[in-house]
Structures are given as C-alpha cells and as structure tokens.
Chain A
Amino acid sequence: MYDIQNYQEALTLSEATETLTRNPRMRIIAGGTDLLIKLHGGQIEAAELLSIRNIEALSHIEKRPDGVISIGPLATFTQMTQDPVIKAHVPILAEAAVSMGGPQIRNIATIGGNVCNGATSADSASSLFALEAELVLISSRGSRVLPISEFYLGPGKVDLRAGEILTEIRILPRHYVGFGGHYIKFAMRKAMDIATLGVAVLCKLEAGNILAEVKIGLGVAGPTPLRCFEAEAYAVGKAVSTDVLNEVGRLAIRSAKARTSWRASKEYREHLIQELVPRALREAIVQAGGGEIA
C-alpha cells in the first residue's frame, strides 16, 4: 500500500483550486507515474493527494482559430504521439513523446506532470523549450502566463506557487509555423530509459539554404532544460554547410552546464552535444524544406 494519508478527487478546476487553497499541503496527482514511484521509494511520506485526473476540461489538444496550439496538462504521452494536430504542426513533440518510458507508461503519464516535476531529463522539455511554450497557471487568486524557460528553477524545482495548477501549455504560431524540427533522445537502451541527453532543434530557412532562425533545446545538459542562445545567434544568416553545422555544435557546449552523474561524465555529455546538435539540425533543415547535406 502507498503511504497516502488523505485523498481527494476534484471534478472541476474551481473545486481543485479551492481545495488547494484550503489545504496547501496537498499534492496534485494526475497520471501518478512519477509521484507513486516517489511514494514507493519513500522520498515522499504521508502524502495528501488531490487528484485532478477527472477534470475533463484539462485533457484537450487543439489548434485554436488564432493558430495557438493548446495542450491540456492531462493529455497523455500516447495522446501526444497520435494526435493529428501535434503530428501535423509540432511533430517534434510527438517524436519526444514516443521516446518516453514504455507504452503502458505513455498511456497514463501526462504532459503536465512531466513539466511540473521539473526534471531536466523530462522527455517533453527540450522540445517545449525549443518551441518556446507558454504555461498558464491558475489559482483561486487569479492566473498568470509564464514562458517555460522561467518555470524551471532547478533540479525538481519549478515556479509553481502554493495553490497553483498548470492548466494549459500553449505553443504560439510564430514559434512553429514554417519551422522544421527534429528530436534526438540519446540513452543506453532504446526503450524504458532515461535520457543521457535530449536534443530538440527547430529551424526556418530562407532562400532555400540560409538559416533564418534556429532554436536548440537541450535536456540533461544542465540542472534544468536549456536553450543554446550563442549557437543559435551564430547560425542566423549563415548558408547551410557542414562547417556551419559543426560550429553550431561546438558553440552549443558553451550554453550547457553538463555534470558528471552515474549515467555519463561531463566530458561525454559535452561530446554528445557537439555531435548530436549538428545531427538534429541537419534533419531539421530537411524537415524545413532544405536539402540534405553530404
């Protein structure tokens, strides 16, 4: 049995925010694939849980008339791998989603939980960073919108204030229309593994082979997911070539804060960044309508 002291089920968002306000000790549970494992391992004790899994309004994936792609936090990873809107407009997110865990976990784990757990290895995070996703956070006091880059504060730490619930992940048209993208998860196993490095690259071309915009999101390259701004700025305006790609990979390391863990050494992770960022960019260029580079 799990060490659960109190369990409540909210059926509406207002019920959830009111319950959280009354009892700030309550933890939100949705898919449970991270939280129940922490309970099992004893990292959390005597948990007070507020389930939001039956709030139907939070599981949508849709493209609004203004082009904004809106993802409800309860959308599962399986939903993300199969959803026609995601596949058509932000396939990089479907690529990331299918790399997470195994099928049974993807059937139940939610994107909101993946983000709110604040893991640098979260499989959705590097893609959401590259897509400059916005998060809508609601409490009984009101709501706020935050860029995902400001939400991650440190390992396992996010800017979720007492009484707040993540209610929506938004991707704006200016961050996905016209972009090609590619995601690479590097792990020791092909399934059921945590990333050694996650690389998400988006790019936009002009005149066929000039890089108009490049966005690089990395997971497990530092205490939080991060962007490689120096490499991105270097790439803009350059004609696509092997030399440019290699330089982007070299500069990407400068933004990283890789460290040694039992999974991989700092040096190995930096080697992976230098190698995999150009590889992902190469494929992103093809996805954006550019040619293959020999």
Chain B
Amino acid sequence: MRKKIALTVNGKAESFEVDVRESLLEVLRNTLGYTGVKKGCGVGECGACSVLIDGVPIDSCIYLAVWADGKTILTIEGVAQDGELSPVQQAFVDEGAVQCGFCTPGLVLTTTALAESGREYTKDELKRELSGHFCRCTGYQNIVKAAEKAIETCRHDGSCGNHHPADHYHDPEKQEGST
C-alpha cells in the first residue's frame, strides 16, 4: 500500500510515494539519502534517529513516513549553512562533546531546538530536555557544557536559525492564575 506525501526536508521541497509500512527514519535514509539520521534502538529510547519536525524533536524510527505529509523536517545535514558550522555544532566541537559521533546528530538537533526557543534553562531542565538521547562514550558532561554554551550564544546574538513553532517551549513563568 503506497501513499504520496509532500514535505520539506532541509529547506528542499520533496514529493514522492512512500510505503505505508515505512518509518520516517527509513525514508530519510534510504529514499532521500540523509544518512546523518542514525538508527539506534529502533524503539524510541536512544534518540539517535531524532529529527526536528516543524521544529520539534521526534524519534523518526517510531514515526510513520506518511505522517510527515505537509511537514517541515530538519536533519543534521541541514544544520550547517554554506559550509559554516552552526553555533550549536561549533559548541559541540569546542567542548569536545563528540566521541564516536553516533548520538551527535540527534543531540545537535535537540540542542538546536532548545537554542532557537530563546528560553533560559537551568541545568536540571537542560538535562531533562536532553534525557531522550543516550551517549555511551562521553559521560554527558561535555555534552551538557556544549548545550549550555550554544544556548547562551544563541540567546546573546540570536545567531540560530528558526526551525521551530514559537509556542513549543513555553516560558514556565507564563501560566494561568494559581488555585
């Protein structure tokens, strides 16, 4: 059973048929060639397959390709612009937050979403937001440092692009009167 979908991946409009049985991970890697999207656990635990869908981090292994119809997707291949690393990528390099690199695409994408939110994060909040990514090499310290640095850089100079719907990461201060 096949279905036609139209979506934008890394700024490029695409339109093609997918098998309804395919995951977005499979389509991104096998049909479109974005092999920066990694297959790890296949059950939505490790976060290696994370991509941004309309600016929101999603595990592409447990997301059916047909659901991507009409969506805007960012993979790691779309993060650097004109050969220049993004502030998030640069922070990962500077802080030595990369070892084997398998978890890196997902972590860079989630950090990009956080950086673009323009919000501040406490260390605990940051750890919570990154908790859907498993890294078996680094011990996480340098990843958290890189994420802190990238978010700080983006807050100061607004140097991150805009891939997110503005309301996804709510400011915790804004809430209805308490009971």
Chain A interface (Cβ < 8 Å from any Cβ of B) = 1-4, 6-7, 9, 32-33, 36-37, 40-41, 51, 53, 78, 82, 84-85, 87-89, 98, 101-105, 107-108, 177-178, 190-192
Q: Which of B41-49, B82-90, B94-102 contacts A (4 or more CB under 8 A)?
A: B41-49
A87: chain B residues within 8 A (beta carbon): 175-176
**In the complex, B177 has a CB within 8 A of chain A:** yes
Interchain CB contact under 8 A, B176 and A84: yes
Closest B residue to A190 by beta carbon equals B131
Choose among B22, B47, B175 the residue with the greatest number of A CB atoms under 10 Å from its CB.
B175
B174: chain A residues within 8 A (beta carbon): 84
Interface string of B63-80 (1 = CB under 8 A from A): 110110000000000000
**In the complex, B129 has a CB within 8 A of chain A:** yes
Given contacts A2-B64, A7-B1, A88-B179, contact A102 B21 (CB under 8 A): no
For the complex formed, measure the closest distance between the CB of A169 and the CB atoms of chain B, giving whole angstroms. 19
Interchain CB contact under 8 A, B132 and A104: yes
For the complex formed, measure the closest distance between the CB of B128 and the CB atoms of chain A, giving whole angstroms. 7
Main secondary structure of the interface of B (DSSP, over half): loop
For the complex formed, measure the closest distance between the CB of B105 and the CB atoms of chain A, giving whole angstroms. 13
Closest B residue to A107 by beta carbon equals B56
How many interface contacts (CB-CB < 8 Å) are there between A and B? 95
Complex Cα–Cα for A101 and B134 (A): 13
Those of B121-179 within 8 Å (CB) of chain A? 128-133, 168, 170, 174-179
**In the complex, B19 has a CB within 8 A of chain A:** yes
Interchain CB contact under 8 A, A104 and B20: no
Which of A1, A6, A32 contacts B63, CB < 8 Å? A32
User: Can you identify 16 A-B contacts, CB atoms within 8 angstroms?
Assistant: A2-B22, A3-B21, A4-B1, A7-B64, A33-B62, A41-B43, A51-B67, A78-B168, A88-B176, A88-B177, A88-B178, A101-B44, A103-B110, A103-B132, A104-B110, A191-B128
Which of A82, A89, A103 contacts B128, CB < 8 Å? A103
Q: How many B residues are at the interface, by size bracket?
A: 35 or more
Given contacts A37-B44, A104-B44, contact A191 B179 (CB under 8 A): no
Complex Cα–Cα for A7 and B57 (A): 25
Complex Cα–Cα for A41 and B43 (A): 9
Closest A residue to B22 by beta carbon equals A1
Interchain CB contact under 8 A, A105 and B57: no
> Assuming A4-B20, A102-B45, A105-B59, what are 9 further A-B pairs, CB within 8 angstroms?
A7-B20, A7-B64, A41-B43, A82-B170, A88-B175, A88-B178, A104-B58, A104-B132, A191-B131
Interchain CB contact under 8 A, A36 and B56: no
Interface string of B10-49 (1 = CB under 8 A from A): 0000000001111100100000000000000011110100
For the complex formed, measure the closest distance between the CB of B108 and the CB atoms of chain A, giving whole angstroms. 14
Given contacts A104-B44, A107-B56, contact A2 B179 (CB under 8 A): no
B104: chain A residues within 8 A (beta carbon): none
Which of B20, B56, B57, B131 contacts A192, CB < 8 Å? B131
Closest B residue to A38 by beta carbon equals B43
Closest A residue to B66 by beta carbon equals A7
B112: chain A residues within 8 A (beta carbon): none
Interchain CB contact under 8 A, A192 and B67: no
Interchain CB contact under 8 A, A105 and B67: no
Complex Cα–Cα for A84 and B178 (A): 10
Complex Cα–Cα for A221 and B178 (A): 31
Complex Cα–Cα for A103 and B128 (A): 8
Given contacts A33-B44, A88-B177, contact A104 B67 (CB under 8 A): no
For the complex formed, measure the closest distance between the CB of A189 and the CB atoms of chain B, giving whole angstroms. 9
Closest A residue to B49 by beta carbon equals A104
